[in-house]
Amino acid sequence: MTLVVANQKGGVGKTTTSINLAAALAQKGLRTLIIDLDPQGNATISFVDQQQVELSVYDLLVRPEVTAEQVIQPGAVENLDVLGARISLAKAEAKLIGEFDSHFRLKDKLQPVLDRYDYIVIDTPPTLGILTVNALVAGTHLLVPIQSSYFALEGTDDLLETYEKIKARPNPDLQFLGVVITIDDKRTVLARDIRRQIHEVFGDKVFRTTICKSVRLEESPAYKQSIFTFAPNSSGALEYYSLSEEVIGRV
């Protein structure tokens, strides 16, 4: 299973969801790989010391001779490996543009290591560019975090259009796994309205688990940890655990 966490809207909880979902799966004893396709590298620094990332996903995508084995590192958590990003990844789009196989680079490079993992989780940048397309071509399932805030659904049409295009040609096996509502503020009327809108648009694709707004979840990246080590008894830990159960149930 290769789960692509994507939404081209920025700051909706893609990275937080990728990190904590991957950590929850690993904690269950499932062999998990997290791939960081965001040049900001936030998912990477949660599990490895970025200084140690000599070869990164940039090298994997751009240099034909670099293999996934060379780039993957064990993460700070048991059962979790990391394919890390550095800021150099920001140059990848420019390097790949015009290459005839630019959309297939990640898929091709992952092929030899697929059977090592039960789950691969890919965090993507807030664009629908070559990196996100590489993730969707390599993926088996798309998971879309949507923040229950104003303009929540803005841009989801473009995302779904990209999903349909990729499903039509390069990756017919890609499935829409679901939508997770994130950074939800249960107290506000606005958030309740947006939740209702999201349910109207996505119906039973919306996960029952909602990730609430939480200071613990906001703080955990600063401490370079997943929520399960940073605040194992917090509501965020329970919610991401419950999301991981739903994900396993759906795939």
Binding site for ligand ATP (CB under 6 A): 10-16, 38, 42, 126, 182-183, 211, 213-214, 217-218, 221
Report the distance separating Cα 74 and Cα 92, nearest Å.
24
Binding partner of residue 217 among ligand ATP, Mg ion, none, CB cut-off 5 to 8 Å per kind: ligand ATP
Which residues of this chain interact with Mg ion, rule CB under 5 A?
Answer: 14-15, 38
Sign of the torsion angle spanned by Cα atoms 184, 185, 186, 189: negative
Report the distance separating Cα 149 and Cα 207, nearest Å.
17
Binding partner of residue 36 among Mg ion, ligand ATP, none, CB cut-off 5 to 8 Å per kind: none
CB of 168 to ligand ATP, least distance (A): 26
3-state secondary structure of 201: helix
Sign of the torsion angle spanned by Cα atoms 39, 43, 49, 53: negative
CB of 172 to ligand ATP, least distance (A): 27
Give the CA angle between residues 218, 220, 226 to the nearest 5°.
Answer: 125
Binding partner of residue 41 among ligand ATP, Mg ion, none, CB cut-off 5 to 8 Å per kind: none
CB of 194 to ligand ATP, least distance (A): 15
Nearest CB to ligand ATP, comparing residues 14 and 86? 14
